[in-house]
Structure 1
Amino acid sequence: MASLNLNFDAVIQKLDHQRLFQNLQTMLKGATFLNITGAATVSYFVWKTFKFANLYFLKSSKLYKYRAVKSPKGEAPWALITGSSDGIGKALAVELASKGFNIVVHGRTPSKIAKLAADLEAQYKIKTKTIALDTTDPVLSLDEPVLNAIGDIKITILINCVGGISIAAKRVYDPLVERTESEIDRVFSVNGRFMTQLIRILLPRMTEPGIIINVGSTSSYGLPWVQLYSAAKGYLNSLSIALNAEMYATGRDIEVMAVTPGSVAGTPGFKYAVGSFLPDTKMIAKSILDRIGSGQTVVSPYWVQGIQDTLFSLPGPQMYKRMVAKVMKNMKEVEDRDLAEQK
């Protein structure tokens, strides 16, 4: 009987040791999983931080690649900027002219673009051409007026900067059901149709290497009351991605990219935007050109807005709706008050 009890106690002791060993194994596995998860999380954020720093602070612009191009006549390269009589477009024209590019100035008002062209020629000793076209006209034929304006030059840089709502609709912030048929056509024309037709016309007449920069907006995420503008900017991003791939597939050395700035101080399109970190047109223009050669097809050009874009993409659909509804409602109320005071 004593021997039986001894054997039983040994079995119990062995089982206790096995349970202890199994518990230790489970704890070690859990610790290993947590360690791996923690290391992976830290590594991800380190990689994201380096990627951000490389994009905005370490990687230099490849604008020089296009500045070195010679036009067929041996002249300096030509850059065509739509919407260059005001705002970001004008700042881009000045920035490129200061770097020696000849400039094709586009706008709606002949007197304004003629003055800018004359100023650029006088200050930077470059050549200019002008194109006066109304981008809000949804049935305007562009081939003849564009080709007559540029003549036999070849374009190295095409920047599609024209866009907005205020030039095409009576109100910036309006429910879709209150937009008129004409407003819908005009908003899509100025923010999508015009630049698409211009790319079609100019692509066969671009030098290689060449670059097309489509200036979009963070509104492409989808914002209430500016739904048409948001949709058009989303189209612009998709077109840029598809066309960039198409240039590669067809063997053409033409880069296509979209930049998505947020609000910019001092421009009509951002009249109701407020904030402590709003860049001005000069800063945004420089940031856009600094992103050339970044390896990104769609990119926020200014680093502060790059952070905002990252934060903007984190909330889920329900949180996103609540967040943007509150912000956009405040901006709509400011516009409503301004319009009421004008009556």
Structure 2
Amino acid sequence: MASLNLNINYILQRINHQRLFQNLQAMLKSATFLNITGAATVSYFVWKTFQFTNLYFLKPSKLYKYRAVKSPKGEAPWALITGSSDGIGKALAIELASKGFNIVVHGRTPSKIAKLAADLEAQYKIKTKTIALDATDPILSLDEPVLNAIGDTKITILINCVGGISIAAKRIYDPMVERTESEIDRVFSINGRFMTQLIRVILPRMTEPGIIINVGSTSAYGLPWVQLYSAAKGYLNSLSIALNAEMYATGRDIEVMAVTPGSVAGTPGFKYAVGAFLPDTKTIARSILDRIGSGQTVVSPYWVQGIQDVLFSFPGPQMYKTMVANVMRGMKEIEDKDIAAQK
């Protein structure tokens, strides 16, 4: 009987040792998994931090690549900037003129673009041409007026900067059901149709190397009350990606990229934007040119707004809806009060 008890005790001890061993194995496996997961997470964030730092602070702009281009007439390269009579477009025209580019100035008002062209010629000793066209016109034909304006000039840099809501609709922030048929056509025209038709006309007349920069917006994420603008900017991003791939596929040395700035101080389209980190048009213009050659087809040009883009990508759908609804509701309320005060 004593022998039987000893055997049972021995067996129980073995069972307990085996369970302890299994528990230790499970703990080690769990620890190993956590270590690997932790190391992978840290490595990911280190890599993303390096990418961010490289993009905004280390990687130099390749604008010089296009400054070296000579037109068939031996002139300095030409840049065509749409919407260059105001805002970001005007700042881009000034920046490129200061770097020796001849400028084709585009805008709606002949007197404004004529004055800017004269100022650029006087200050920077460059050549200019002007195109006066209303980008909100949904049936406007671009072929004849654009070709008459540029003649046989070869374009090296095409920047599609014209866009917005304020000149195409009665209100910036409005529910979809309040938008009129005319507003829908005009908003899509200024933010999508015009630049698409212009690319079609200009692309065969571009030098190689050349670059097309489409100025979009972080609104492409999808924002309430500016739904048409958001949709058009999403289209712009997709078109830029497709055209960039098409240029590669067809063997043309033309880069196509989209830049997606957020709110910018001093521009009509962001009249009701608020925040401590609103860059001015000059800062955004320089940031856009600094991102040339970044290797990114769609990129936020300004580093502070690049951080905001990263934050936008983290929330799930429900949190995103809540976040943007609160922000946009506040901006809409400011516009509502402004309109009420004007009555």
Scaled by the length of structure 2, the TM-score of the pair is 0.98
User: How far apart in 2 are the matches of 1:111 and 1:25?
Assistant: 80
User: How far apart in 2 are the matches of 1:261 and 1:27?
Assistant: 49
User: How far apart in 2 are the matches of 1:207 and 1:133?
Assistant: 24
1:8 Cα deviation after fit: 2.8
SS class of match (1:211)? strand
Aligned to 2:330: 330
SS class of match (2:16)? helix
User: How far apart in 2 are the matches of 1:14 and 1:53?
Assistant: 57
Matches within 5 A, 1:111-150: 111-150=111-150
1:19 Cα deviation after fit: 1.4
Does 1:303 find its partner at 2:320?
no
Matches within 5 A, 1:155-166: 155-166=155-166
Does 1:17 find its partner at 2:17?
yes
Aligned to 1:314: 314
Aligned to 2:272: 272
User: How far apart in 1 are the matches of 2:275 and 2:174?
Assistant: 23
Aligned to 1:240: 240
CA deviations over 1:75-120 (Å, ceiling 9, x no partner): 1110000000000000000000011111000001111111111111
1:206 Cα deviation after fit: 0.4
1:3 Cα deviation after fit: 3.3
SS class of match (1:80)? strand
1:21 Cα deviation after fit: 1.2
Aligned to 1:152: 152
User: How far apart in 1 are the matches of 2:313 and 2:38?
Assistant: 23
SS class of match (1:79)? strand
Which letter does structure 1 place at the counterpart of 2:233? K
SS class of match (2:79)? strand
1:328 Cα deviation after fit: 0.9
CA deviations over 1:242-283 (Å, ceiling 9, x no partner): 111111111111100000000001111111011111000000
Matches within 5 A, 1:204-223: 204-223=204-223
SS class of match (2:263)? coil
User: How far apart in 1 are the matches of 2:92 and 2:295?
Assistant: 21
Which letter does structure 2 place at the counterpart of 1:89? G
Which letter does structure 2 place at the counterpart of 1:118? A
User: How far apart in 2 are the matches of 1:195 and 1:147?
Assistant: 15
1:6 Cα deviation after fit: 2.9
Which letter does structure 2 place at the counterpart of 1:307? I
Which letter does structure 2 place at the counterpart of 1:51? Q
User: How far apart in 2 are the matches of 1:12 and 1:175?
Assistant: 74
Deviates more, 1:146-155 or 1:3-12: 3-12
Matches within 5 A, 1:89-104: 89-104=89-104
1:13 Cα deviation after fit: 2.1
Question: Taking every aligned residue pair, what percent have the same amino acid on both sides?
Answer: 90
Deviates more, 1:315-324 or 1:54-63: 315-324
User: How far apart in 2 are the matches of 1:186 and 1:315?
Assistant: 33
User: How far apart in 2 are the matches of 1:135 and 1:258?
Assistant: 19
Scaled by the length of structure 1, the TM-score of the pair is 0.98
Which letter does structure 1 place at the counterpart of 2:168? A
Aligned to 2:54: 54
User: How far apart in 1 are the matches of 2:158 and 2:77?
Assistant: 11
SS class of match (1:319)? helix
CA deviations over 1:209-268 (Å, ceiling 9, x no partner): 100000000111111111110100000000001111111111111100000000001111
SS class of match (1:62)? coil
CA deviations over 1:286-340 (Å, ceiling 9, x no partner): 0000000111110000000000111112111111111111111111111111111
CA deviations over 1:133-165 (Å, ceiling 9, x no partner): 000110011000000000001000000000000
Structure 1 portions without partners, runs of 5+: none
Which letter does structure 2 place at the counterpart of 1:248? Y
1:2 Cα deviation after fit: 3.5
SS class of match (1:131)? strand
CA deviations over 1:41-74 (Å, ceiling 9, x no partner): 1111111111110110011101101111111111
User: How far apart in 2 are the matches of 1:138 and 1:13?
Assistant: 86
User: How far apart in 1 are the matches of 2:193 and 2:64?
Assistant: 30
Aligned residues: 343
User: How far apart in 2 are the matches of 1:330 and 1:39?
Assistant: 41
User: How far apart in 1 are the matches of 2:25 and 2:191?
Assistant: 62
User: How far apart in 2 are the matches of 1:162 and 1:293?
Assistant: 22
User: How far apart in 1 are the matches of 2:198 and 2:143?
Assistant: 8
Matches within 5 A, 1:220-231: 220-231=220-231
Structure 2 portions without partners, runs of 5+: none
Does 1:74 find its partner at 2:74?
yes
User: How far apart in 2 are the matches of 1:170 and 1:7?
Assistant: 92
User: How far apart in 2 are the matches of 1:15 and 1:172?
Assistant: 74
